[in-house]
Amino acid sequence: MNFKDYVNKHLDLLNEVKGIDLINNFKKVFPFSKESNLTVKHFNIKGEDTDTLEATGTVSSESDPGNSYVCMAKFHRENNELPFSLQNMCKVSCNCNAYRYNLSHPNSKNSSQVEPIPGYASIANTVRNPDKNVGVCKHLYAFLHFLYEKGIIRNN
Ligand SMILES: [Zn+2]
């Protein structure tokens, strides 16, 4: 199953499972952003044998391919038999400006951000994200796609 179908398969869990809301709101917050294939340059996975997985990745910038952003996604499972998946994704962050300006505030308010970004977490963006949707930026979207393709996050 491709990543888009994987995401769509979970739509009935909207508003129940935070990880599904985060990824689904990508289109709401960034309606003009393409789900482009940004390149993940480096990645690091911690805790794959525990109940909490922390994935960090460096994703290239679309406008400036020499530049890149750091994405983080955290997953927490109830027991170690379950796979890590969008259903147990709990926190994200990216150090790009789109994330900072549009998502840092709602994500930190909803405990969906790995760490608060000083100076931004307290400011709501009433223009681009008036409904204060939690969500992911295109780098995080690409990084989650990558984790799915690698089999690090899976169906459950
Ligand atoms: Zn980003």
Domain boundaries, the chain: 3-95+136-149
Question: What pLDDT sits at residue 116?
Answer: 63
Percent of the chain past pLDDT 70, that is, above it, reads: 93
Alpha carbon of 93 to ligand 1 centroid (Å)? 8
Alpha carbon of 81 to ligand 1 centroid (Å)? 31
Alpha carbon of 79 to ligand 1 centroid (Å)? 30
Q: Is the pLDDT of residue 37 over 80?
A: no
**Which tens digits make up the pLDDT trace of 120-146?**
666 778 888 888 888 999 999 999 999
Question: What pLDDT sits at residue 72?
Answer: 95
**Which tens digits make up the pLDDT trace of 66-95?**
889 999 999 999 999 999 999 899 999 999
> Exposed, middle or buried by CB within 10 Å (0-12, 13-18, 19+), for 139?
buried
Alpha carbon of 98 to ligand 1 centroid (Å)? 6
Helix (H, G, I), strand (E, B) or coil at 88: helix
DSSP state letter for 153 = S
Q: Is the pLDDT of residue 156 over 80?
A: no
Alpha carbon of 8 to ligand 1 centroid (Å)? 22
Alpha carbon of 64 to ligand 1 centroid (Å)? 13
Alpha carbon of 3 to ligand 1 centroid (Å)? 19
